[in-house]
Amino acid sequence: MKIDHQGDLPPYEQVRVHYAHAISNRELPVGAKLPTVRALAKDLGLAVNTVARAYRELEEAGLVETRGRAGTVVSANGDSNRERVRAAAAQYAAMSAELGLSSAEALDIVRAALNR
């Protein structure tokens, strides 16, 4: 992982997005251990608080869990969260079709919501 210090996303968000994608793509399976906050901060040249914020947001999203001295690991909740999002997407697709929106219009609405 490389941090783009000139990019639009703040460093903590780049770390969060990297791990969120790796977890959702199952590159990191349930139970996989993430590097310690200090080790990752050192490797990326970031402040410890920056990495800690990314890990905290991943934990709030249910993607990881912190087990004290055992470290931070990928949570099994990530799979259930994915299922909840899929169900919501199916419901949204049905509602969009019922209301007569085209697929392009429905996707534009989702993109706008994700970019907020």
Residues 49 and 32 in one domain: yes
* pLDDT score, position 79: 64
Residue 57 counted as domain residue: yes
Give the residue, 7 or 34, on which the prediction is more confident. 34
| Enclosing domain of residue 52 | 11-74
Segment (H or E) for 24: helix 11-24
pTM beyond 0.75, yes or no: no
CATH number of domain containing 33: 1.10.10.10
Residues 58 and 100 in one domain: no
Residues 21 and 64 in one domain: yes
Residues 57 and 107 in one domain: no
Residue 5 counted as domain residue: no
pLDDT at residue 96 is higher than 90: yes
Residues 67 and 89 in one domain: no
Count up the domains in the chain and report the number. 2
Residues 53 and 105 in one domain: no
For residue 64, the cross-strand partners are: 74
Residues 22 and 58 in one domain: yes
* pLDDT score, position 78: 63
Segment (H or E) for 21: helix 11-24
* pLDDT score, position 77: 76
Quick one: average pLDDT of 52-68?
A: 93
Cβ pair 10, 47 in contact under 8 A: no
Residues 27 and 67 in one domain: yes
